[in-house]
Amino acid sequence: MEGSDNPIHKGNQAFIDEDYPATLQAYGEAISLGGEGEALARSNRAAVYLKLSKHTEALQDASAAVKLMPTEMAFYRKGLAAFALEEFETALEAFRQGKKLEEERGDSNDPRKYRTWVRKCEAELEAEEEAHAAAAASSDRSMPPTTPTTTTTTSDVAPVSGGSVGAAAAPVKRTPVPASSTAPAHLRIKFQYYQSYEKVTVAVLEKGLKESEVKVDVEAKRLTVRRKAGDNAGALLFDKVLYEEVLPEKCRTRFMASKLEVTMTKKSPADWPELEGAAIPAARPAAAATATDASSTSGEAAVEQPPTKVARPYSSTKDWDVVEKEVQKELEAEKPGGEQALNDLFKSIYGKADEDTRRAMVKSFQTSGGTVLSTNWDEVGKADYEKERQAPKGMEWKTWEGEKLPQKEDDDN
């Protein structure tokens, strides 16, 4: 198949142009053709889904790609998708496999990426274990002692005078028994959340939750999760006021082995700076409002609230800046040489370049099969490297099926 007609090449070009619908269509066509190109098409399509924050689809494609052809990039994309879905064990295994293949190949472009992601996965798994242990301890403390309760009744009856039956009796007094508290216990369960522009997902990190034992209530500005059966029936697992309103009718709940996941659609698409917000205040009676307003003018200074720290879309208790700084220190201690030093130079040029220069570098390198790297977009934008590319001396370009591709001939011929 000619380069210009190859659906994978079409998909690559559309991806460079940020035409993602066309990219998905082209890679889908390549997948339907099967053959040796299917693994690459699935891995590339996983990259598109990651770009679009469609992590479930990305994980499916990347998992299929590593089964067809276990490449380093396919494992890396599988790890990214699994981590976004909070499937940390799957992500950790994928990153370890990708790191192993990269080390065997010996041409790492970014040695920090795997170290950082492996540490993130390990930290999340450790945090889950700590949360489960804390929840179990809290659950044990919240159970009231099972001691028998007796109700005593004291009758103060006036003595009967002379054995007369018609004597009046004093009223019966009953000793009051303290009423047991009916407030539900709030278990300390670890949770995480992540969001897109239109949706927000909350993950309650409790293993073994079953749909028959848990009740999920989604209101316009509140999410509540409680046990309705089993151990600690009635106890709250999660109860928070949301930052903005959501659409309860468009809520989706998923029960998984390690967590419960609730995905809610935002009423007004936007990035929330944090998950939790303020409750909607109830209307005050006029008299109460007047009294409150009057007290506010009595010379008391208002207490200024500290600024709220903006949270990332993916929220966790771990400070990833610390992890990344530790990895950076390790890498700075390692002086790259040879091909790694050259790659670092290219990365530095790309990182400081403007948008046109970056587009030129990506298009020239990808469409030429890695034989051309140009920073001149005016030149690259007009060139068709798939037809004009030149293979290394003594070699030629071919498709997966063995058909020769158009290319420049060697000058010495």
Mean pLDDT of 51-74: 93
Which two three-digit tokens encode residue 162? 């002379």
Q: Tell me how far CA of residue 220 lies from CA of 54, 179, 228, 240, 282, in angstroms.
A: 25, 34, 22, 12, 15
- Say whether pLDDT at 378 is over 70: yes
**Residue 140's pLDDT band (boundaries 50, 70, 90)?**
low
What secondary structure does DSSP assign to 255-302, as a single string? E-SS-EEEEEEESS----S-SB-PPPPPPPPHHHHHHHHHHTTSSPPP
Which pLDDT score is estimated for 143?
53
Please tell me the distance from the alpha carbon of residue 344 to that of residue 26, in angstroms, as a whole number: 32
Residue type, 365: F
Give the pLDDT band of residue 409 (cuts 50, 70, 90). low
Q: What is the pLDDT of residue 28?
A: 94
Q: What integer pLDDT is reported at residue 186 of this predicted model? A: 64
Residues 6 or more apart from 130 whose CB is under 8 A from it? Answer: 190
pLDDT level of residue 194 (50, 70, 90 thresholds)? confident
**How far apart (Å, rounded) are the C-alpha atoms in residues 33 and 346?**
35
Give the Cα separation of 323 and 330 in Å (integer): 11
Res 170: pLDDT: 47
Query: Angle of helix 20-33 relative to helix 7-16, nearest 10 degrees?
Result: 160
Q: What is the pTM of this model?
A: 0.42
Asked if residues 76 and 92 have their Cβ atoms less than 8 Å apart, the reply is no
Percent of the chain with pLDDT over 70: 62
Q: Which stretch of DSSP H or E encloses residue 217?
A: strand 214-219
Q: In what order do the strands lie in the sheet with 260-266?
A: 191-195, 199-204, 260-266, 246-255
pLDDT the model gives residue 388: 66
Closest CA to 332 of 116, 111, 107: 111
Widest pairwise Cα distance in the chain: 141
- pLDDT of 347 reads 77
Whether pLDDT at 339 is above 80:
no
Contact between residue 127 and residue 317 where contact means Cβ atoms under 8 Å apart: yes
Is the pLDDT confidence value at 78 over 80? Answer: yes
One-letter amino acid at 39 equals A
- pLDDT for the residue numbered 181: 47
Residues with Cβ within 8 Å of 121's Cβ and at least 6 positions away in sequence, in order, are 79, 83, 88, 89, 91, 92, 95
Question: For residues 228 and 386, what is the distance between their CA atoms, to the nearest angstrom?
Answer: 62
Lowest mean pLDDT among 89-103, 147-161, 322-336: 147-161
pLDDT digits (tens, 9 = 90+) for 216-271: 999 999 999 988 876 677 788 899 999 999 999 999 998 888 888 999 999 998 88
Q: How confident is the model at residue 48 (pLDDT cuts 50, 70, 90)?
A: very high
- Determine the Cα–Cα distance for residues 163 and 168; give it in Å rounded to an integer: 12
Looking up tokens 């771990």 gives: 318
Distance CA 224, CA 264 (A): 13
Name residue, tokens 């559309």: 14
Mean pLDDT over residues 309-326, rounded? 56
Q: What is the C-alpha to C-alpha distance for residues 91 and 124, in angstroms, rounded to an integer? A: 11
Q: Which domains does the chain have, with CATH numbers?
A: 1-109 (1.25.40.10), 183-280+311-335 (2.60.40.790), 354-413 (no CATH)
Q: What is the DSSP string of 346-405?
A: HHHHHHHS-HHHHHHHHHHHHHTTTS-----HHHHTT--HHHH--PPTT---B-TTSPBP
Model confidence at 297: pLDDT above 50: no
pLDDT in the model for residue 335: 58
Going by pLDDT thresholds of 50, 70 and 90, the confidence category of residue 177 is: very low
User: Reduced to 3 states, what is the DSSP secondary structure of residue 327?
Assistant: helix
* Average pLDDT, rounded, for the chain: 75
CB 198 within 8 A of CB 266: yes
